[in-house]
């Protein structure tokens, strides 16, 4: 090919290709990329759930699968035998003393995060016990109807295709598959699950690798739904696994009291030293300010409640948190159909990428936060602006108390000497309670500076908690004495650094 | 909620949540994330294209849309009037002297990248001219059938719904929509396009925001297809826009000669100084070693050829490069239907994220490469290992020639003094040709070190090309004299740095 002639080229630099625009707002950082993914999604999708007048055709359903968007069909299961026949008496009559697997927890918190302030957490699975169905249902009802009930929470929730297993005698009351889902997805359900519980139980925010058709039979369920692109909002962490267990005082057959349950840390799996860690969402969309990531504020949860007979399509990989309300009999009962998601095409690969990049961005950012000087580890004269401000506050706090300190106080931060003494209540020093409040506020500020993130264990003052190896009481809020000594240590280090 | 008791906790650190595993291989860097996205996709999908026996039902089609995977249906359009009636005579009879828009290029390279070695590129659009249809078709045929033809390439390819515009008289020979696509997507096509060209034209790798149904009528088309997750493979850049134009010697009506076409740089758009830059793929899957990114090696292009009557579903956002073969009449003719893609759901947002993060990763990596010392900008004693090795090669090259240099040569790099003189052919120095070859090899190595990437303009030796502002001949390969002076300048700087 002969060389073409070029007209109007101002110079070779002009023809050097530029980086293609990423399309991200702001500085075009990875953080901008993750945020824009979430906001773009919401710009293109409603924050309400579609309500269909009738069950969809397979093609109509497939459009929702392609779009990975949920819908609800009111009263779609009103014709099912389950809707017409199931109630406390019928279930008792069919299942009687059949032994069923019961999930037992003190607060209805099966498979969820138990936070151990300030920075700890465990992922607690329920105590699982085999009980006669009638007994389990009676306990569920009693808790719902009897205000004096003080026992633990029971939930029948095995999610192991139990409607074709331990509850198989009920299976004839529901269709063996959802016709439009079976035709569209060209497969039968992987699992059909029966759920029986009461309002005390909540299923924590999580996602499943399934296309899910959820049918309400008795009572109501309340869903909070997050699309897969919101993975960076849920603050997924690898959390120490634990299981509720009996204390020694009770046997398998006994009636359980709430106080009989302890959180038993799981044995480390083969080859692991520290314990078994389960990846799980630590953010709760109903408490959006706690355990948030910088992206959580961009979450736009869909909320929908199912009444008896209502049907929900809950698309694959959507995060969902589910709470429930009982009917007059004190029961909440549902059935759901799980169809394997299609791992081919780009959906699975792209959403794994979104989840992983969100985690990566968070870890990179936290590493960069950790690299910044922490008040507790100041060296040399690199005290940062926060520390300056805190010292100024400390001094002003003293000033506001209208006491004279042992040294002259100035409002300039340049080589200012904060006035604290070893005697907590000495002249010019804050009281123990004042120091404690200041500590709380400063730690909060520090966390907020770290872009809304707790920089993991960096903040835990040393030796704040007992390090017993066998049975540790859950840590209480940090003792005032600990706060005082930590804060004073920071101040002392800062002063030394300024000299 | 009272505090639960915890059993078996070894200490608070044990309960500090860990970062959740990203699932990425290797170091878990952003580069690992992008690579794993592509390899995961290929682990889950075949590298062949599905061939259907018959046209799909709307539901079957919707499954492919949901999966964003292509398929081909052989002979699906054999019943169309276009298949039965279209040939050179019929087209001439219907369209006669109707003026149509013709894309004219010297090499069949409309809307494609013209590389200007070593680092430049322009995105060249065709000269567009209105010509009587018969004349345009005759030129297309003549080029295909007459080996002595030396004129430019003509292509009827307006892609502006032209089958319902300038070729509307042919529209009755094809269906107004593809029934299964119309029903599944619930929309009529946004555009229906008529294509007429010959084997000289190639459509460069690009993607469209459309679900595309492509139907071959005359001759054959050869598709190279890349899924949207391979965006990081195609080395998208913002490339200076240009358009083929006449030289002054010819008028609009005249017969064009290939030599009459020059590349005219587009005027900068309002508010831009440097020019208009178009985001475009600079990698060609048929020349995989040139202009590659570190991800290009993971691309697994699907290849499919359409014969007359064959139909291809080309899913939205798939990159495609299209070449063609003529029938006996010297023609290649096709029709395609563009249906707007569904921007709702997660598909568009997730793929914009993939594309943008791929670009971001590349730009971050190149910035980090650019931050490393370049041979031409060595300062102090931070000569890097490459430079050491190059000097050693230089010395060995001299040694192999069995000449004695003006200075003692050693094989150690510590403070070694490379032996070059100002006299190119003086004793101990390489010949001009040897230096030239060494320069080429070292620049290649440097580029490869930059992870397969050319670090943009960093490599261009100063003043290698004329910087004329009006009409610049395309740069020729760097002159030997330039290479020699550049290489010697690098050597001199290195030696100075070592002292």
- Read off the pLDDT band of A6 (50, 70, 90): very high
Taking the CA of residue B372 and the nearest CA in chain A, the distance in Å comes to: 19
Calculate the alpha carbon distances from A428 to A325, A388, A494 in Å.
56, 18, 18
Contacts of A272 (CB under 8 A, 6+ apart): none
pLDDT digits (tens, 9 = 90+) for A438-474: 555 555 454 444 433 333 333 333 333 333 333 333 3
CB A101 within 8 A of CB A156: yes
Calculate the alpha carbon distances from A78 to A74, A174, A338, B277, B494 in Å.
9, 11, 20, 60, 84
CB B210 within 8 A of CB B341: yes
- Read off the pLDDT band of A257 (50, 70, 90): confident
pLDDT at B362: 92
According to DSSP, the residues that pair with B335 across neighbouring strands are: B194, B215
Token reading at A249: 């005082």
Does the beta carbon of B200 lie under 8 angstroms from any beta carbon of chain A?
no
d(CA B468, CA A11): 6
Taking the CA of residue A302 and the nearest CA in chain B, the distance in Å comes to: 14
pLDDT at B129: 93
CB atoms within 10 A of CB A228: 22
Does the beta carbon of A48 lie under 8 angstroms from any beta carbon of chain B?
no
Omega within 30 of 0 (cis) for the link into A118: yes
Token reading at B480: 């030997």
pLDDT at B471: 35
CA nearest A204: which of A219, A226, A172, A174? Answer: A226
Helix orientation angle between A347-371 and B347-370, rounded to the nearest 10 degrees? 40
CB contact under 8 A, B11 and A457: no
Token reading at A425: 């209540």
CB A421 within 8 A of CB A429: yes
CA nearest B84: which of B219, B218, B222? Answer: B218
Token reading at B240: 């200076």
Q: Say yes or no to pLDDT of A481 above 90.
A: no
**3-state SS string for chain A:** CCCCEEECCCCHHHHCCEECCCCCCCCCCHHHHHHHHHHHHHHHCCCCCEEECCCCCHHHHHHHHHHCCCEEECCCCCCCHHHHHCCHHHHHHHHCCCEEEEEEECCCCCCEEEEECCCEEEEEECEEEEEEHHHHHHHHHHHHHCCCCCCCEEEECCCCCHHHCCCHHHHHHCCCCCHHHHHHHCCCCCEEEEEEECCCCCEEEECCCEEEEEEEEECEEEEEEECHHHHHHCCEEEEEEEEEEECCCCCCCCCCCHHHEEEEECCCCCCCCCCCEEEEECCCCCCCCCCCCCCHHHCCCEEEEECCCCEEEECCCCEEEEEEECCCCCCEEEEEEEEECCCCCCHHHHHHHHHHHHHHHHHHHHHHHHHCCCHHHCCCCCCCHHHHHHHHHHHHHHHHCCCCCCCCCCCCCCCCCCCCCCCCCCCCCCCHHHHHHHHHHHHHHHHHHCCCCCCHHHHCCCCCCCCCCCEEECCCCCCHHHHHHHHHHHHHHHHHHHC
What is the average pLDDT value for chain A, to the nearest integer?
81
pLDDT at A418: 37
According to DSSP, the residues that pair with A206 across neighbouring strands are: A320
Picking from A362, A363, A471, the nearest residue to B5 by CB comes out as A471
* Chain-centre distance for alpha carbon B321: 9
Contacts of A353 in chain B (CB under 8 A): 33-34, 36-37, 40, 229, 350, 353-354, 357
What value, to the nearest 5°, has the Cα angle with vertex A181 and ends A176 and A185?
Answer: 115
Token reading at B417: 């003094």
Contacts of B104 (CB under 8 A, 6+ apart): B126, B127, B128, B129, B152, B153, B154, B155, B244, B256, B261
pLDDT digits (tens, 9 = 90+) for A46-88: 999 999 999 999 999 999 999 999 999 999 999 999 999 999 9
Calculate the alpha carbon distances from B382 to A65, A121, B88, B409 in Å.
58, 48, 69, 22
d(CA B193, CA B216): 12
Q: How far apart are the first and last CA of chain A?
A: 73
pLDDT at A457: 35
pLDDT digits (tens, 9 = 90+) for A95-104: 999 999 999 9
CB A144 within 8 A of CB A238: no
Calculate the alpha carbon distances from B123 to A50, B118, B119, B203, B279 in Å.
44, 16, 14, 13, 9
CA nearest B474: which of B28, B49, B116? Answer: B116
Picking from B33, B66, B356, the nearest residue to A66 by CB comes out as B66
Residues A328-348: what's their mean pLDDT? 98
Give the chain B residue whose CA is nearest to the CA of A15. B120
Omega within 30 of 0 (cis) for the link into A155: no
d(CA B494, CA B489): 9
* Chain-centre distance for alpha carbon B499: 45
Interface subset of B 350-389, CB within 8 angstroms of A: 350-357, 359-360, 362-363, 366
CA nearest B303: which of B188, B226, B215, B374? Answer: B226
pLDDT at B447: 44
**In the block, residue with structure tokens 């149904």:** B213
d(CA A102, CA A197): 10
Does the beta carbon of B69 lie under 8 angstroms from any beta carbon of chain A?
yes
Residues A421-430: what's their mean pLDDT? 39
Token reading at A435: 């120091």
CB contact under 8 A, B237 and A18: yes
pLDDT at B379: 31
CB contact under 8 A, B5 and A58: no
Calculate the alpha carbon distances from A85 to A91, A405, B92 in Å.
9, 79, 74
Contacts of A114 (CB under 8 A, 6+ apart): A121, A122, A123, A124, A242, A263, B4
According to DSSP, the residues that pair with A18 across neighbouring strands are: B238
Interface subset of B 121-180, CB within 8 angstroms of A: 121-122
Does the beta carbon of B264 lie under 8 angstroms from any beta carbon of chain A?
yes
pLDDT at B273: 78
pLDDT at B250: 56
Give the chain B residue whose CA is nearest to the CA of A6. B263
pLDDT at B271: 79
Length of chain B: 499
According to DSSP, the residues that pair with A399 across neighbouring strands are: none
Torsion of CA A182, A184, A185, A187, to 10 degrees: 30
DSSP H or E stretch at residue B110:
none
Contacts of A99 (CB under 8 A, 6+ apart): A130, A131, A132, A133, A166
Taking the CA of residue B171 and the nearest CA in chain A, the distance in Å comes to: 29
pLDDT at B130: 95
Does the beta carbon of B109 lie under 8 angstroms from any beta carbon of chain A?
no
**3-state SS string for B392-429:** HHHHHHHHHCCCCCCCCCCCCCCCCCCCCCCCCCCCCC
CB A465 within 8 A of CB A475: yes
Picking from A62, A265, A460, the nearest residue to B8 by CB comes out as A265
According to DSSP, the residues that pair with B379 across neighbouring strands are: none
Residues A336-351: what's their mean pLDDT? 97
CA nearest A81: which of A165, A172, A189? Answer: A172
Token reading at B162: 């032209």
Contacts of B65 in chain A (CB under 8 A): 66
Coil, strand or helix at B100: strand
Contacts of A206 in chain B (CB under 8 A): none
How do the pLDDT tens digits run along chain B, 499 residues long?
Answer: 557 799 999 988 999 999 999 999 988 899 999 999 999 999 999 999 999 999 999 999 999 999 999 999 999 999 999 999 999 999 999 999 999 999 999 999 999 999 998 889 999 999 999 999 999 999 999 999 999 998 999 999 999 999 999 999 999 999 999 999 999 999 999 999 999 999 999 999 999 999 999 999 999 999 999 999 999 999 999 999 999 998 766 555 556 777 789 999 999 888 777 899 999 999 999 999 999 999 999 999 999 999 999 999 999 999 999 999 999 999 999 999 999 999 999 999 999 999 999 999 999 888 877 665 444 433 323 334 444 555 555 545 443 333 333 333 333 333 333 333 333 333 444 444 555 455 555 554 544 444 333 333 333 333 333 333 333 333 333 444 444 545 555 555 555 544 4
CB B300 within 8 A of CB B170: no
pTM recorded for the entire structure: 0.78
Taking the CA of residue A85 and the nearest CA in chain B, the distance in Å comes to: 35
| Stronger pLDDT, A247 or A124, i.e. the higher one | A124
Does the beta carbon of B104 lie under 8 angstroms from any beta carbon of chain A?
no
Picking from A16, A62, A262, the nearest residue to B457 by CB comes out as A16
């Amino acid at each position: 090919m002969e060389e073409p002639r070029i007209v109007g080229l101002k110079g070779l630099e002009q023809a050097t290709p530029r980086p293609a625009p990423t399309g991200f707002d702001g500085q075009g950082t990875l953080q901008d990329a993750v945020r824009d993914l979430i906001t773009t999604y919401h710009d293109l999708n409603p924050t309400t759930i579609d309500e269909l007048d009738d069950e969809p055709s397979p093609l109509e359903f497939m459009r929702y699968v392609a779009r990975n968007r949920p819908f609800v069909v009111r009263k779609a299961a009103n014709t099912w035998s389950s809707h017409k026949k199931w109630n406390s008496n019928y279930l008792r009559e069919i299942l009687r003393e059949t032994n069923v697997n019961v999930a037992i927890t003190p607060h209805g918190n099966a498979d969820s995060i138990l936070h151990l302030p300030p920075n700890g957490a465990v992922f607690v699975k329920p105590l699982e016990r085999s009980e006669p169905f009638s007994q389990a249902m009676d306990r569920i009802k009693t808790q719902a109807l009897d205000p004096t009930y003080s026992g633990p929470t029971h939930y029948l929730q095995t999610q192991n295709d139990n409607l074709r297993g331990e509850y198989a005698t009920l299976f004839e009351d529901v269709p063996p598959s959802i016709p439009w889902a079976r035709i569209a997805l060209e497969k039968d359900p992987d699992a059909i699950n029966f759920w029986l519980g009461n309002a005390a139980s909540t299923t924590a925010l999580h996602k499943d690798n399934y296309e899910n058709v959820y049918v309400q039979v008795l009572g109501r369920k309340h869903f909070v739904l997050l699309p897969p692109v919101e993975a960076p909002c849920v603050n997924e962490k690898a959390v120490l696994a634990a299981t509720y267990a009996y204390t020694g005082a009770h046997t398998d057959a006994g009636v359980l009291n709430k106080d009989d349950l302890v959180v038993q840390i799981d044995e480390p799996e083969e080859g692991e030293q520290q314990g078994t860690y389960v990846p799980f969402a630590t953010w709760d969309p109903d408490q959006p300010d706690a355990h948030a990531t910088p992206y959580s504020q961009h979450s736009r949860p869909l909320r929908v409640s199912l009444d008896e007979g209502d049907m929900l399509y809950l698309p694959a990989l959507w995060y969902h948190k589910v709470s429930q309300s009982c009917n007059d009999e004190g029961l909440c009962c549902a059935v759901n159909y799980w169809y394997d998601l299609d791992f081919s095409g780009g959906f699975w690969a792209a959403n794994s990428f979104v989840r992983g990049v969100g985690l990566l961005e968070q870890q990179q950012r936290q590493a960069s936060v950790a690299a910044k000087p922490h008040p507790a580890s100041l060296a040399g004269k690199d005290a940062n602006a926060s520390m300056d401000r805190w010292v100024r506050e400390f001094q002003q706090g003293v000033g506001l108390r209208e006491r004279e300190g042992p040294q002259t106080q100035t409002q300039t931060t340049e080589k200012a000497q904060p006035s604290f003494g070893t005697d907590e209540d000495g002249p010019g020093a804050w009281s123990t309670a004042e120091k404690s409040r200041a500590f709380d506020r400063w730690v909060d500020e520090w966390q907020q500076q770290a872009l809304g993130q707790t920089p993991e264990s960096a903040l835990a003052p040393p030796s704040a908690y007992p390090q017993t190896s066998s049975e540790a009481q859950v840590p209480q809020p940090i003792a005032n004495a600990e706060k005082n000594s930590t804060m004073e240590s920071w101040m002392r280090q800062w002063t030394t650094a300024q000299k």
